[in-house]
Amino acid sequence: MSEELLQTKPHKLDRYLYWKLGNSTLMQLKNARIIPVKQIPSKLASKRPDGLIVAQNSAIKAVIEYKKPDELNSQKKIKKAITQEIEVAKYLCKLLIVSDGEKSFWINTLTEEQITNENGEKLKTFSAKKILNGQLSIEEIMQLEQLLDQIEHSLTKQNNSLTAPALIDPTMLAKTIWQKIWINTGKNPEQCLYNVVELFVFRFLSDVGVLKAHNNFDYVYNLKKSTSAMDALEHYARICRKKIHELFPSSPEDKTTILNGTIFVNEKGEPNSAQARLFGEVLEHLQQFTEKHGSFKNIQREFKTRLYESFLRQEAGVKSLGQYFTPRNVVRAMVDMSSASSLQPGARVCDPFCGVGGFVLETIIANPHIYKEFEPNNGIVSPRITLIGYDKGTDEKEDERTIILAKANMLIYFSDILSKYNSPEHLKAFSEGAFNSVFHLLRSNLGTFAQIDDEPYDLILTNPPYVTRGSNSLKCAIEEEGLSPYYNFGGRGTESLALEWIIRNLNLGGKALVIVPDGLLNQTTILKNLKEYCVIRAVISLPSRTFYSTPKKTYVLIITRKYRNKEPQIDPVFTYIVSEIGESRDAKRFQKDENNLDEATALYNQFKGSPRSFVSSSKRCKVISYEDFQKYPHWMVDRFWERAEKQELGILDEETEISEEEFYIMIKDAKSLLEEILDD
């Protein structure tokens, strides 16, 4: 063994080791078992590589050769340097890195050509100095590790480019598992959904390397194959599930984390032996899918954004689950119409009635500069743009589930980041800086309505609850808590309280995009306060049955908080009629080509750039001067179109069919409203 090897210790790069060499021959490296080859050609035995990156199983991942800067200052010298070193690298691995310590050249040894990324750009990233000085951050080490893995599976004798792995769409798998659990257990669709999501999270965390060895999916699946489904379930419940809770600590405030299934385990987390067979069948479905289609590490964005909506296409799920969901096309349109793309560090965004987190998560994923804020920096996740989602709950376990679902949803949204940064330190950082800092369960009957001391928000996106039944008792609770001064608009229904909360919690100049029911836009007192505190930017009519669980007619209201109350509005108001949202408006929710939301979004974004000079190019759109707009006794803007105009557009006044149950609910709501009016 050479003196160099006796004195040299490798630098650890997570799963890899970096050896700084230069004086040790390949033969000496072989004898020291640093390189795993059985024999070395005589012409290479005395070659001395400057550095090696080696996997823990001794497989060589890269050969590194250092040159002086003046040896790499022209194309001719670069080519010469590569030619001089290629034989050694070609014998050992696919990758040669030639570097002067700053700039570097990454070479595919199979072709002797430079490696390019997915965009055709030559790879340049490698800092030998940082490695030698121990200056690589945790994130840089993991990025280097991922890059080496990508090079290993991408490079061939015909290909010098990095290739992105194929993306998978597990939608049908999710539906199959959901239906199997529902049919076999008879549990309500909501509980079945939680368990599907939990097992998807388990598979995903295993595939990205978060869960290792005896904690991961493969171990549990093999246990099921070699012993029994019961043994597999017991191991999952007692070992794997506890490990996930350990890696993703719960919020210290509301004690919620990312798992909440209670079919395969009970409330205490103990295995439910009665469901062992079903658990084994679900494992089989997950295994067969990944064998055929690939790892959960690479999930299509469309699946991430539509995961929960998939379950609503089952008849059984609509009534039970529909209350939590705003259709993804509507969410996406509202995010695209918002100011999210121009938010700067220090900005604050909120969905005060977040459900499973659709508005918050779509805001993150639709805006790369916001998504990037959640990438770790020196092991810490600390986004400079604040995003908050509130959901109401009590001390009952059932009430925790929606916010837990939002956190699990966020984990899947962040699959790309978690694939790169999956050390225990990073996972804890994600729990603290992402899941637990973004989503909050408010354990009180008032929920968000008790949050009167929030720092103002620059953007609010939300679909608040709108019911009249029970709103009177909510107002009584507000009075008992001494919060009446914060809610003095005097409107009807929870939607009026929600809108008042939004207005009071908007920063001056802040924007809100809110889904509101038709009844709110017919309340004189609410319209009066809106005009006093806000600039009315847009009212967009959505078609009946836009939402899964109600036939109620709804609108998107877009407002900006005035810098001075009662300041006259000058800008006109954008109005638009949407009659198709890109999916059928029945329980099946099949995707359709026609989607007026796309045009509405494009036109509104043109309008907001120059409201006073904008001219509509669509007969679905009317820009109304504020002077005329404020004269209307209501803001149900679809009624601003004449019948002849609607006929020209092919829009007939919708006849809404409702079920007996829906009719009964409407009668009860009307009764509650009359009682509330009489009480006043």
Among residues 584, 611, 338, the alpha carbon closest in space to that of 458 is found at 338
- As a whole number, mean pLDDT of residues 590-601 equals 89
- Taken in order of first residue, the domains within the chain and their CATH numbers are 3-154 (no CATH), 166-343+354-382+392-436 (no CATH), 464-680 (3.40.50)
Range from 92-101, 238-247, 279-288 carrying the lowest mean pLDDT: 92-101
Average pLDDT for 207-212: 85
Read off the pLDDT of each residue in 564-581 and give the average, rounded to a whole number: 94
Give pLDDT tens digits for 42-78.
888 899 998 888 886 678 889 988 888 899 889 899 8
Share above pLDDT 90 across residues of the chain, in percent, rounded to a whole number: 40
Residue 132 binned pLDDT confidence (cut-offs 50, 70, 90) = low
Closest alpha carbon to 421 in 76, 615, 137 = 137
| Full-model pTM | 0.78
pLDDT band at residue 591, thresholds of 50, 70 and 90? confident
Give 470 or 651, the one with higher predicted confidence.
Answer: 651
Residue 661's pLDDT is 45
Which among 570, 581, 649 has a CA at the least distance from the CA of 327?
Answer: 581
619 C-beta neighbours (distance < 10 Å), count: 13
Whether residue 288 is predicted with pLDDT greater than 70 in this model: the reply is yes
- pLDDT at residue number 180: 92
Please, what's the b/e burial string for 375-412 (b: 16 or more CB within 10 A of its CB; e: otherwise)?
bbeeeebebebbbbbbbbbeeeeeebbbbbbbbbbbbb
Choose between 307 and 101: higher pLDDT.
Answer: 101
Quote the pLDDT of residue 678.
65
- What is the tens place of the pLDDT at every residue in 386-426? 999 999 875 555 667 788 888 988 988 888 888 788 888 88
**Beta pairing, strands 573-577 & 386-393:** unpaired
Q: In this model, does residue 227 exceed pLDDT 60?
A: yes
Tell me how long the chain is: 680
Q: What is the pLDDT of residue 587?
A: 62
Q: Which pair of structure tokens corresponds to residue 418? A: 């978690």
Mean per-residue pLDDT, 253-266: 83
Name the region of 246 (left: φ>0; alpha: ψ -120 to 50; beta: rest).
alpha
Give yes or no for residue 290 having a pLDDT over 70. Answer: yes
Q: Flag whether pLDDT at 680 surpasses 90.
A: no
Find the mean pLDDT for residues 645-671: 63
More confident residue, 468 or 147: 147
Q: Flag whether pLDDT at 320 surpasses 80.
A: no
CB atoms within 10 A of CB 420: 16
Name the residue with tokens 């609850």.
465
Query: pLDDT (tens digit, 9 = 90+) per residue, 470-529?
Result: 567 888 888 888 998 999 898 888 899 999 999 999 999 999 999 999 989 989 999 999
* Contact (CB, 8 A) for 440 and 258: no
